Amino acid sequence: MGRDAITETERAAIRTCGAEMAEAARAAILPHFRQPLVPENKDGQGGFDPVTLADRAAEQAIREVLAQRRPEDGIIGEEYGRTPGTSGLDWIIDPIDGTRAFISGSTSWGVLIALADENGPFYGIIDQPYIAERFEGGLGVAALTGPRGQTPLKVRDVVDLAEATLFTTFPEVGTEADGAAFRRVSQQVRLTRYGLDCYAYALLALGQIDLVIEAQLQSYDIAAPIAVIEAAGGVVTDWEGGPVHEGGRALAAATPELHRAAMELLA
């Protein structure tokens, strides 16, 4: 099954399942947030790639919902890998995107849930459990649901780099050459901010910022942001303008004009 074969009834079922997964992840994660945690380090090369009990509990909770609701779909999760399905659809899960922020008590982390076919993600959720904000995009929906109720997601119409706000997770973006390319864009924009993890993509979809540039991403880092931002009218590709749903170097922009200008500087 591809996205074109999904009926209205199926759309509603997918959205219900997405909401249940996000709620299950919230329930699994929040008891651990801003509590004493001893993270494990998954990076055996001398770096720091933390994982916590909350990461694993959240992915297990999401998988339990899928086992009940949609056992025919495949799953690609950061913590427990790939579970093949038979429907032609895969759920791509990052139970806590921004674990470094999570263990630091910051709220820039989030739960990423996406549904993809062979052409990439077409439905996604960026959920921030602690501040109770859920950004949902795809299947005819583009909305933030939070403490103030529901707000439509729509990117800004900024077309000039000199008026743009740029976000990235790390000051060090990928390789040395990647970092130099990022700085070429940063030097042209109005404002650059660092360290927002997946929440930066949510802010782009909300129309608060204009660009996100990152490197060394995995599929579960970017699949949900792609779906949410595209539903809000934005553009997400790799640095060369091609698909990025399998990971790599991502460029997310509010408008085609901004995307084109940033891509020229990254090249």
- The predicted pLDDT at position 216 comes to 93
> Do 227 and 120 contact (CB within 8 A), yes or no?
no
Last residue of a domain, one of 152, 170, 193: 152
| Local confidence band at 108 (pLDDT 50, 70, 90 cut-offs) | very high
144, 179: one domain: no
- Asked if 181 and 201 sit in the same domain, the reply is yes
One domain, residues 123 and 234: no
Q: Which of 99, 129, 152 is the last residue of a domain?
A: 152
Residues 169, 220, single domain; the answer is yes
- Tell me the pLDDT tens digit for each residue of 223-238: 999 999 999 999 999 9
* CATH code of the domain covering residue 255: 3.40.190.80
* CA gap 230, 225 in Å, rounded: 8
Residues 210 and 85 in one domain: no
**Residue 36 sits in the same domain as residue 114:** yes
Query: In terms of domains, do 86 and 177 share one?
Result: no
Last residue of a domain, one of 135, 152, 169: 152
**127 and 39 within one domain:** yes
Q: pTM for the full model? A: 0.94
Q: How many domains does the chain have?
A: 2
Same domain, 147 and 177: no
Q: What is the pLDDT of residue 133?
A: 98
CATH code at 56? 3.30.540.10
Q: What is the pLDDT of residues 109-148, one digit of tens each?
A: 999 999 999 999 999 999 999 999 999 999 999 999 999 9
Indicate if 259 and 139 belong to the same structural domain.
Answer: no
Domain that holds residue 165: 161-266
